[in-house]
Chains A and B, each alone.
Chain A
Amino acid sequence: MTSSGRYDPPAFMTDFDDIPGQLEAWSNAMSGWVDEMISQVQQQLPPGAECQFYNLVTNPQPGPHLEQDVIWAAFPKLLRVLYGTEGAFELADNKLYPLTESNDPSRAGFYTGEIWKTLFYRPLDEYCEWRVEKNDAGKIVRVTFTSEPPEYWQALHGDELADVNGNPAYPTVGDPKKVLALYQDLVSPEVTLDDLRCPFDFVDETDPKNPVVIYRKGGYNPYNKWNSTHGIMHLGQPNNSLSAEVGLGALATVIFHNLTNDPIVIGEALVCAGRLGGPNRTSDPTISSTVNDLARLGAAITLRNPVGLYMDSIDLTGFHDPSGQQVPQEFFRVVRGREEDGLIERAVFEVPEGEGYVVGDITVAGVPIRYGGQIAEHIKVKLVGLGSSIGKYSNASIPAIGQCCVGPSQPLFLRRPSDIAVPCDAAMYRAFAWGGNPQGGMPLPQAEIMSATAAMLATATTRRPRMARHRSR
């Protein structure tokens, strides 16, 4: 149970407090996502198994609980894997992608249609995004970080929040004037409400016979210029959403087995086998396997209230001013969220007026700051899980449904999880074909893998789940 009896807003932020009905509406949406995912997981499980993920508000579990911070590094590992350290720094700071393109070369863009070519996101997919500002001399003067989910801002605007499949489902009350006031305060006094709204329906034409309205005319536009090209307020990369976090937390409670019938326990292998998100990220493999470790112990699992995505902390050890002195912690100023609890939603790294130097004059381990990413490297992002009742469940596992192929042109890159029944292209190999369990059976020879895969899938007693919108990305 939560002390308020509701799912509270991320970091207990107070913007909803004086909007009548808003806190209930937010809790309703959060609770709805949780229940939808419980239902989805239940369909995936074999007969006799019960979903181990639970709704903290409507179905609190008795007994002692253990809270576990699940932490991951903020700098996007995918960019390093694809482009090396220097290339990654450059792209992370400076490149904006249109929504018609993916920053992951193994998948298609997010949406199709002319409007999406004009809407941009940052290629930062570890639930922490940043924006760099420089002075006329080209030196960095400020880096602004955010981990706020887009749904929070849609709710603050009063839009109907989508369910996990992308269909409008959860009305909110909202107060657009508050959205505007916050933007004007934190991003620019020039922001207008029209800037923040969709001038017409934003439609996804990926299936031309079935166009889907993603954001409605008059609704809040998460890709407005003040959150992309001209500023930063909240997460924009389409995989960085609160419903995706809830989805991953729930789906990761499912135990998968491999071709030798052993449970898949290694984080990256689990993401591939269960099609649980981005296998090259610091976030998804760690979130998935940390949840799954508890699931295999038979525990009841949920996300701790307030559910959100947070910067936990930054380690500024070795950040030196031009005279070689350690810079104080206060240079990382928390603007929204709760620093003392590690629930940071918005923070700004800059040198206070009057010090006589700027961020670009600071060195980290002797290296001058040329990229905001050098600061992001020292930030840990987190969610908080809740486990209890170890041993309560003894669910059977289900066959792996996915695989990640790896090709010779990008040998460090795990391609997005694909259907395990379809062989990898010639010249590629299935990663973790050895099973993803270091104590598992001897791997099968390559020549036998596909027939063994078919045999394993034939044992499945559950329907293959419908790929939810957030997972198909």
Chain B
Amino acid sequence: MMNTPTDLLRQLPKFDAMPRHTGPNVPEAPAEPRLAINDIQGNVFPGFNKPTTYFTAFRIEDVAGAKAWLAEVLPFISTVEEVLAFRRLYSARRKRLGGAKPPDLVDTNTNIGFSYEGLRKLAGVSAEEFSDEAFRLGLAERAAHMGDSTDPCDWVIGGPGNIPDVLLITGGDDDDILRARVTALTEEAEKRGVVKMWEEVGLVRRDLPGHEHFGFEDGVSQPGPRGTLSDIPDDYLTPRYIDASQGVEALLYGLPGQDLVWPGEFVFGYPGQGPDPLVAGPVRNPGPSWAANGSYLTFNRLRQDVKAFWTFMTETAAELATQPGFEGMTPDKFAAHLVGRWKSGAPVARTPDADDPTLGQDQYANNHFFYGSDTKKASLHRMPRYGGGDPYPDAKSDPLGLTCPLAAHIRKVNTRDVSNDQGGTHATYAVRLLRRGMPFGLPLEDPFGPDSEDGNRGLMWVSYQTSIIDQFEFLRGNWMGDAKPPRMPGGDDMIVGMNGRPGAERERTCLIFGSGLETATPSTRQEWIFQTGGGYFFSPSITAIREVLAGGG
């Protein structure tokens, strides 16, 4: 009797808590750097992943007071080590409970970031060694070149004269404990001349956990930072699942489709990408020496107009359905082709005609597809039932975007194994971001129904990277903000792109193919993503907070 995909899914262990050998023992695997897991803040990796997260912004009015406050806050800053350890404990208990969520196992995590001005207040002239021009100028100065049409003076936080020095991110499993933590830290701050400017809460959707407000599963594909956690052989931060018998794929990916990227792309003081993905590049530390083990944190409060989004999808799908080659087009299918994934997370490349929620939820399959060649099955070494690969239809070669449009959001931000306008595929490794955002505001169940929140919902975007200019801004301003890159025949990013090109009047257009090479060019001037706040911050190491930012006071 064949196991159905649903059977398999139920039987898959999500996480083996204690075994530390997370990679195949392959002699030719490159040596990876040891990560300072007790010095790097834990939202960088693996990320808090909490159902509720507070974002609190502060202004430093008393530097000495701020240093004293930081010394009080420091014990609450969660590191990589403890966030990982909690995840392992949680998984072990969940496994023992047969998959049920442990009701009383809770944790609260706090991380902290500082703007350029904040670092200058606390660290003096050495802060000027941060060379990233975007970080130095700040998001408000830079937003327009990424296509943003809003006036930063209207932002709730981060506009001119309203730029915070400190951003605290606190996530937790228990709302009371979480609220108490945030209140306590804020009270201590205010006593010492660190003034709260703004606070808001990010909430994982309770109705559709893991989905953003347009309805799509978010964060399916993240890069897998290379690096080890200890001296134990193969104790990788990013577990390796692909069997060595599969070939070089076992050396390039963690989960199938999860690119392994040298950690210097995300954390200061580590080797970044070189021209060969298997060979470590030079160490990146474009800042003062105490920037090591830190990371830039980009934060954007993005309001999402869910009704406008689905109005466009519904009206355009109806028009398309009357055209040869696009018969049967539905709003969900049209939107999926513009995202590159269905709402469940299932990739259009593997299932172009209908959603497949089992595939969408299957992390061992939902990211396994190539564009430049037919995708072959990948044997997994830690998942015996996937020893021959996953059971879903495999993606076919699609270099021209006939199956998954080149303008689809996931193809606009990552070209995978096909080339892009930056030359070959180096950018597939070099413009990646660790994304830690979460929704804010309550969901709008029916996009066309009454809205008790008056449109106040969206995404608290957070990403970590070591170059704001060459990673975050490159993706938003260049690939997502322009019609031609990264690869043609594509078009504008219809989902989250912004067209600020002069004379274009915000119009976004793209090319999609029908069943028999017919083409259509949907377009709109309507926007549904609005910048309403944000900023650029630096998330320092524990050592830097203790010895530089809190020190010398």
Which A residues fall within an 8 A CB radius of B? 64, 66-73, 77, 260, 263, 265-269, 271, 279-286, 289-290, 293-294, 296-297, 312-313, 315-320, 326-329, 364-367, 380, 382, 387, 404, 406, 411-414, 429, 431-435, 437-445
Contact = CB atoms under 8 A, between A and B. Distances in A.
Nearest to A313: B484
Contacts of A440: 247-248
Contacts of B489: 66-69
B109 to A, nearest CB: 33
A256 B505 CA distance: 46
Interface stretch (B86-94, B214-222, B332-340, B496-504): B496-504
Contacts of A439: 247-249, 370, 373, 375-376
Contact of B141 (A269, A312, A366): A366
A387 B502 CA distance: 33
Nearest to A77: B423
B481 interface: yes
Contacts of A313: 484
A280 B418 CA distance: 16
Given A71-B484, A265-B373, A290-B399, A365 B28 contact: no
Given A411-B274, A411-B281, A70 B500 contact: no
Interface in B12-63: 26-28
Contacts of B487: 71, 290
Contacts of A411: 274, 281-282
Interface string B390-417: 0000000101100000000000000001
A281 B275 CA distance: 12
A66 B406 CA distance: 14
B397 A281 contact: no
A440 B250 CA distance: 10
Interface string B106-150: 000000000000000000000000000110010001101111000
A281 B28 contact: no
Contacts of B26: 442
Interface residues of B, number: 61
21 contacts: A66-B400, A67-B489, A69-B488, A266-B417, A271-B424, A279-B275, A280-B423, A290-B399, A293-B397, A293-B418, A296-B372, A296-B397, A316-B502, A317-B502, A318-B145, A329-B501, A365-B141, A365-B145, A411-B282, A437-B248, A437-B373
Interface of B: 26-28, 133-134, 137, 141-142, 144-147, 244, 247-253, 274-276, 278-279, 281-282, 370, 372-373, 375-376, 397, 399-400, 417-426, 473, 477-478, 481-482, 484-485, 487-489, 499-503, 517
A326 B419 contact: no
Nearest to B406: A68
A101 B418 CA distance: 33
Contacts of A441: 247-248
A282 B249 contact: no
B425 A260 contact: no
Contacts of B500: 317-318, 326
B419 A406 contact: no
A266 B425 contact: yes
A268 B275 contact: yes
A280 B423 CA distance: 7
A432 B276 contact: yes
A285 B282 contact: no
Contacts of B420: 286
